[in-house]
Amino acid sequence: MAKINPNNDIHTTAPIMPMIYAARIPYDIRWKDGWLKIGEARTQSVEKRLSQEGHEIDADLEPVWWDNALFVGTPIRFFRDTEFHKYLKNKKVECAKRRSSGNDMEVFKIDPDEAYRLFSEFRMNRGVVEHDFCVADYSLRKEQQDAVDMAFDYAQSHPGGEFLWNAKPRFGKTLATYDLAKRLGAKNVLIVTNRPAIANSWFDDYKQFIGRGSNGYFFVSGTDSLKDKSEVLSFSEYEDTVKARGKGFPLIYFVSLQDLKGSKYFSAEGLDKLREISTIKWDLLVVDEAHEGVDTYKTDIAFTQIKRKFTLHLSGTPFKALASEKFKNDAIFNWTYADEQKKKAEFAGRADNPYAELPKLNMFVYKISDMAADKLRKGIDLGDESGKYSFDLGEFFKTIEMSNGTVSFVENAAVDAFLDCLTTNEKYPFSTDKLRGELKHTLWLLDRIDSCKALQKKLENHPIFKDYKIIPAYGNGKVDESDPAVLNSFKAVKSAIEECENGTSGKRGTITLSVGQLTTGVTIPEWTAVLMLSNISSPAAYMQAAFRAQNPGTFISTEPNEAGEFEVRAKENAYVFDFDPARTLTVFDQFANNLNLGTINGGGTLEQRKANIHELLNFFPVIGEDEDGTLVELDVEQVLTIPRKIRSQEVVRRGFMSNFLFNISNVFSLPKPVMDVINKLEPTKEGKSGKKGADIVISASSGFVVDDDGNVTSTDEHTQDVVRDLFGDKKYSTVTVDDVSDLVESSSKQDKVDVLANQLASILETSAQSVVSDAKEQYGDDMRVSDNNQLNSHFKNKAAKTAQDLAADFKIKQNIMEKERDEAIEQIMDSIDTANLTETQVEAAIEEKQAEIDQEFEQKKSELKSEMTQQITDAVNLFTEESKTTTAKVMEEKKEQRRATDIMEDIRERLRGFSRTIPSFIMAYSKDDDGNPVEITLDSFDRIIDDDVFVEVTSITLEQFRQLRDGFDYTDESGERQHFNGNMFDQVVFDDSVAEFATLKDRLADYFDEDSYVLVDGQRVEDIFDLIPPQKTNQIYTPKKVVKEMVDFLEQENPGCFDNPDKTFIDPYMKSGLYITEIVKRLYRSEKMKEIYPDGVERLQHIFDKQVYGLAPTKIIYKISTSYILGFARLKGLNINTSHFVELNSLPYAQGLMDMSLKEKLDELFGKDD
């Protein structure tokens, strides 16, 4: 497996120089003089490209000129040959047509010098042609055609339906959308986006491929970025054009969501604009960037006002969208990162590769606990007595407030060590000057604002990172792109990067610190890497942030190359650096398999899942550390096993008292015979539902449904029964119809929607609070403060939304009525025939007409108030009833879920009582009598352990263990035969953890090596018994430090005792063998003993044959002790006299409870002379 050296293997950009060429076509029957083939060479030389393309026109091509395809000036942008082709057509240069299809070719009738003059002009004016109405031919790529076909078919079978294109950026959603519009025959197309900045991309594709042409679409928009485009009309200009030409034209209307929500026809309070959007019946509504902040209630209100036949949602996430209430599987088209990169590979080497400029994403995974192991406080993990441990980056970067009001890291020294490691250790991304040049601009993602503040301070004072501009892009923590703080952060990043690149800031690069801002819908091409310092675990959120670095970018180098030239470079690779392998590789697994419907959410076979991971690794390599700490490119097996290994290390570190070992979710599904076995296990502490040792009794409450994951749901019948019991017929809202009518009238007069919304929200919230208060009296302590707060918060938010919806709807209808009245008044003169009327009569007619309009308006206004009064009255009553139902349902489910959780924890306490014995069994049975290793797995566990030992240690028989593991048939209380499936233990975690412990045991077997230790999850362990938790009373292992102190005391009381080869020593009550091994070491290292037995092997043989003895009270302790004591000796090839170590409980002899004394028993066992 190839080793990875970041200094050599991290390359973010590569020099590029795409060329446009003109080639003369030799004279023949078909091609006359004066025709030029004009094309491009992007990834290969012009000569090689011409050789490939000559066959297209069946002629040998002779190059006459070529030049770089780079616009003059800033921003830096390469152009395609198709853009220059369009420019030539707009300049009325004749273009050849294909005989078969009639489509344009890349062949033009033009003189070479004139072609180059126009090319130079094109580069200088960046392709702008006044009165540019020419459109280019296009052919959709297969994936684009598939998206159009799916949406078209769905629209035909689902009138009024909604479809989602979930396609990564650069898919070409705009062109495909226009093609769908034409395919649907849509006359009116409305495009709404949450990102006004992308207006240009919509217009550019419109201009290049759609245009007005013959019966083409007109493009209408009021967006600022398009206001200087001559082809973009305002809606009034569009209407004037329609009137002037006497016929309608297809319409594409582009509007920002912000603009829409700022209109009084789409929101409660807004400006008098965009009314036309509310009046048109749109054939197609396009919601662009549907994943970015379009799910707010204000947005819902706005979209409710849009009448449409079909809705197309566009989303740009890199992962596969899942079916939901809004979109079923057949209403989603997915185009993911893997799809994109596969196509990029397929098109490799071709000039028309549309994906060539898309960087490849690479992930480097490190273990932060190893980076800062020496500085990391013991116990930083979040583990508790349940053993559900997982290293947490959020905790690593947790802060505390100092006395001066500033914040500092709890793990201050560890964070310092982490930053130093990043910049000095050659494995890490900022460790060399070359790497710092590759990673000039990066995004660092953390969990908390305070963590960002503390890290910013450290970075600004760090010897390396002080040379970077640190940008605090966390603001108020909001991630909504429309939030001003987010917009300010974006501007700050762009400005800092520009100042860095032009040299005005004096900084070598930038580091952007964020807690989520700028992780969606933002394009900052200069970012080449993302550092994940957050504990984010959602695959969707993780990948959305990771892909911030994958945006394509083209840059001019700030330093000349060896030839003294400033290169144009394109981003080739982007990087993600992560520091929590278990989390990261689990997310990678989920990401790879969530790209395929057959393996979403854990589905599919292991082989299918491996195949998906393998495929993604081809396009998204993961570099991680092997067991020696060397960086290597991980394969499928490593992606799957590294998280397992890390998890097994966590289990071992917790002495196997970990819930990771158990498969248990729905406690109510456990039958009584299983609970009889579990109740025999000794719990590790007092259970939640009773005193220690009390049997766990499971009884499922009626009226609930429990799923396979143990989630409790109250049935509708049970919920309604509880509602009746809790609240009876009590009326919670005292608001009358008259009250509501007065409220509507008052808000109408004040013309303030927030008056109505706030007062209505207060009515609804007060009603719900009364419901919760009464429920609290009934539930007592069962309704915790957090429950009360949660319910009130839920109802407060729901009341606000309900009130806003009603008030906004009322206000919008008022706005429309008022507009209609104003328009009617403006048109009064047009409706009066003034030919035969005097001025007085005209004035009278106007007054009469205006009175009619006012009367009609007041009538409509009165009807609207009545309608609103009824809607509000109904809403208040419905809200109250729903509050009762929600309160009852939530509290019943919480009560039952907590009961289930308590039972679950009691069961786990007993299972942990069992699992804590596993290390003892490994110590005792991992080697046979000849010292050969024995493989211990969940499957073999019951075959290698003696039944009497198993019962003594665990309190259950091997047969009962097999029942928990394998399942069994039983007769239930009704006399029916049933089957329990078993599987109470997670086999993978069990086997991995046992193997890990056995490996550590062997590595620490040489007790003569005082410096030996192992790292377990970043923590130093010197004694294998430190990893074995207390067992029963006689199986609490004495720490090595205490053993040494005891032996020191022995030597003080008996000076020279370890220098005498005839002196004998015994441990009359061995627990681990530590006491004997410490005595063996003292005897072996004695200078006097070395004189008597110079040969070390002979010296050891004498010690074990003549000087040390031990008694073990139980069989398991005997096997543990002798395995530990003799394991090392066997490695030395010694023939140990095992008769010196005997299984015997010496305590009754010492207490005088037996027929002979302890001394007499020892004489019997070992002889008087020993």
In terms of Cα–Cα distance, which of 297, 298, 290 is closest to 326? Answer: 290
- Residue 25 domain-assigned? yes
Please list the helix, strand and coil fractions of the chain in percent, rounded to the nearest 5, in that order: 50, 15, 35
Neighbours of 201 (CB within 10 A): 14
What is the span of the domain harbouring residue 38? 13-125
Asked if pLDDT for residue 710 goes beyond 70, the answer is yes
Bridge partners for 287 per DSSP: 192, 313
C-alpha distances (whole Å) from 358 to each of 77, 170, 355, 570 are: 15, 8, 5, 9
Asked if pLDDT for residue 209 goes beyond 90, the answer is no
| Secondary structure of 108-122 as H, E, C letters | EECCHHHHHHHHHHH
pLDDT tens per residue, range 882-909: 999 999 999 999 999 898 888 888 998 9
% pLDDT > 70, the chain: 88
Q: Are residues 311 and 408 in the same domain?
A: no
Write the DSSP string, 485-538.
HHHHHHHHHHHHHHHHHHTSS--SEEEEEESSTTSSS---TT--EEEE-S----
- Residue 746 domain-assigned? yes
Confidence of residue 345 (pLDDT cuts 50, 70, 90): confident
Specify which of 245-259, 657-671, 1037-1051 reaches the highest per-range mean pLDDT: 1037-1051
Higher pLDDT, 688 or 518: 518
Q: Where are the alpha helices (DSSP H) in 44-197?
A: 46-53, 81-90, 112-125, 142-157, 173-184
Confidence of residue 378 (pLDDT cuts 50, 70, 90): very low
C-alpha distances (whole Å) from 985 to each of 82, 658, 661, 918, 963 are: 62, 11, 6, 13, 11
Q: Where are the beta strands (DSSP E) in 541-683?
A: 554-556, 568-571, 573-578, 622-625, 631-633
Reduced to 3 states (helix: H, G, I; strand: E, B; else coil), residue 345 is helix
Q: Are residues 157 and 84 in the same domain?
A: no
Could you identify the residue written with the tokens 């029942």? Answer: 963
Could you identify the residue written with the tokens 């319910």? Answer: 791
Tell how strand 977-980 and strand 712-714 pair up.
unpaired
Q: Distance between CA 411 and CA 400 in Å, rounded? A: 10
Higher pLDDT, 395 or 946: 946
Cβ contacts of residue 1051 below 8 Å, gap of 6+?
1057, 1058, 1082
Q: Distance between CA 650 and CA 377 in Å, rounded? A: 16
Task: Confirm if 66 and 46 have CB atoms less than 8 A apart.
Answer: yes
**Domain stop point among 653, 670, 695:** 653
Cis link prior to 18 (omega < 30° from 0)? Answer: no
pLDDT tens per residue, range 514-567: 998 888 767 788 999 999 999 887 787 888 888 888 888 877 776 777 777 767
Phi, psi of 111 (to 5 degrees): -70, 140
Specify which of 26-40, 317-331, 461-475 reaches the highest per-range mean pLDDT: 461-475
Tell how strand 284-288 and strand 311-315 pair up.
parallel
Q: Are residues 319 and 198 in the same domain?
A: yes
The pair of structure tokens assigned to 34 is 């004066």
Specify which of 5-9, 486-490, 746-750 reaches the highest per-range mean pLDDT: 5-9
In eight-state DSSP terms, residue 995 is H
pLDDT tens per residue, range 155-175: 999 999 999 998 877 788 899
In terms of Cα–Cα distance, which of 139, 146, 574 is closest to 352? Answer: 139
In terms of Cα–Cα distance, which of 590, 574, 580 is closest to 538? Answer: 590
Q: Are residues 796 and 888 in the same domain?
A: yes
**pLDDT, mean of residues 788-803:** 91
Confidence of residue 382 (pLDDT cuts 50, 70, 90): very low
Structure confidence at residue 577 (pLDDT): 95
Structure confidence at residue 1034 (pLDDT): 52
Confidence of residue 184 (pLDDT cuts 50, 70, 90): very high
Structure confidence at residue 324 (pLDDT): 62
Bridge partners for 631 per DSSP: 625
pLDDT tens per residue, range 62-97: 899 999 988 887 767 788 888 899 889 888 899 988
Write the DSSP string, 830-878.
HHS--TT--HHHHHHHHHHHHHHHHHHHHHHHHHHHHHHHHHHHHHHHH
Specify which of 426-430, 829-833, 863-867 reaches the highest per-range mean pLDDT: 426-430
Neighbours of 712 (CB within 10 A): 22
Confidence of residue 377 (pLDDT cuts 50, 70, 90): very low
The pair of structure tokens assigned to 1163 is 């004489």
Structure confidence at residue 749 (pLDDT): 58
Q: Are residues 432 and 564 in the same domain?
A: yes
Q: Are residues 551 and 478 in the same domain?
A: yes
Structure confidence at residue 213 (pLDDT): 66
Structure confidence at residue 58 (pLDDT): 67
Structure confidence at residue 1056 (pLDDT): 94
Q: Are residues 457 and 554 in the same domain?
A: yes
Could you identify the residue written with the tokens 């499922």? Answer: 700
Stated length of the chain: 1170
- Residue 238 domain-assigned? yes
- Residue 213 domain-assigned? yes
Q: Are residues 592 and 564 in the same domain?
A: no
Task: Confirm if 732 and 880 have CB atoms less than 8 A apart.
Answer: yes
Structure confidence at residue 1060 (pLDDT): 95
Task: Confirm if 1007 and 1081 have CB atoms less than 8 A apart.
Answer: yes
**pLDDT, mean of residues 369-395:** 51
Q: Are residues 270 and 402 in the same domain?
A: no
Q: Say if pTM beats, i.e. exceeds, 0.75.
A: no
Asked if pLDDT for residue 376 goes beyond 60, the answer is no
Average pLDDT, the chain: 84
- Provide the domain count of the chain: 6
Higher pLDDT, 289 or 715: 715
Which CATH number goes with the domain that contains 148? 3.40.50.300
Task: Confirm if 501 and 558 have CB atoms less than 8 A apart.
Answer: yes
**Domain stop point among 335, 350, 381:** 335
Structure confidence at residue 755 (pLDDT): 78
Neighbours of 503 (CB within 10 A): 9
Question: Of 269-283, 430-444, 726-740, 879-893, which gets the smallest average pLDDT?
Answer: 726-740
Q: Distance between CA 154 and CA 310 in Å, rounded? A: 10
Phi, psi of 313 (to 5 degrees): -100, 135
1132-1137: long-range contacts, CB 8 A cutoff, minimum separation 24? 1132/1097, 1132/1100, 1133/1097, 1134/1097, 1134/1100, 1134/1101, 1134/1104, 1135/1101, 1136/1104, 1137/1104, 1137/1105
Task: Confirm if 18 and 40 have CB atoms less than 8 A apart.
Answer: yes
Q: Are residues 552 and 644 in the same domain?
A: no
Burial (CB count <10 Å: 0-12, 13-18, 19+), residue 1164: exposed
Cβ contacts of residue 1060 below 8 Å, gap of 6+?
1088
Structure confidence at residue 521 (pLDDT): 62
**pLDDT, mean of residues 1117-1133:** 81
Expressed in angstroms, the distance from the first to the final Cα of the chain is 58
Please give the distance of CA 118 from its chain centroid, rounded to a whole number. Answer: 50
Structure confidence at residue 386 (pLDDT): 45
Structure confidence at residue 479 (pLDDT): 45
Task: Confirm if 41 and 672 have CB atoms less than 8 A apart.
Answer: no
Structure confidence at residue 2 (pLDDT): 66
**Amino acid symbol at 305:** Q
% pLDDT > 90, the chain: 36
- Residue 658 domain-assigned? no
Q: Are residues 168 and 309 in the same domain?
A: yes
Question: Of 973-982, 990-999, 1001-1010, which gets the smallest average pLDDT?
Answer: 1001-1010
Q: Are residues 386 and 267 in the same domain?
A: no
**CA angle at residue 177 from 326 to 543, to 5 degrees?**
60
In terms of Cα–Cα distance, which of 310, 337, 750 is closest to 546? Answer: 337
Cβ contacts of residue 749 below 8 Å, gap of 6+?
none
Confidence of residue 977 (pLDDT cuts 50, 70, 90): very high
- Residue 136 domain-assigned? no
- Residue 234 domain-assigned? yes
Structure confidence at residue 296 (pLDDT): 67
Structure confidence at residue 196 (pLDDT): 66
**Domain stop point among 319, 335, 351:** 335
Tell how strand 631-633 and strand 332-335 pair up.
unpaired
Instruction: Give the count of alpha carbons within 13 A of 715, CB side only.
Output: 9
- Residue 955 domain-assigned? no
Asked if pLDDT for residue 1004 goes beyond 80, the answer is yes
Task: Confirm if 571 and 12 have CB atoms less than 8 A apart.
Answer: yes
Neighbours of 121 (CB within 10 A): 13
Structure confidence at residue 956 (pLDDT): 94
Confidence of residue 216 (pLDDT cuts 50, 70, 90): confident
Q: Give per-residue burial for 806-827: e unless 16+ CB within 10 Å, then b.
A: bbbbbbbbbbbbeeebeebeee
Reduced to 3 states (helix: H, G, I; strand: E, B; else coil), residue 1007 is coil
Structure confidence at residue 371 (pLDDT): 61
The pair of structure tokens assigned to 195 is 């990102």
In eight-state DSSP terms, residue 280 is S
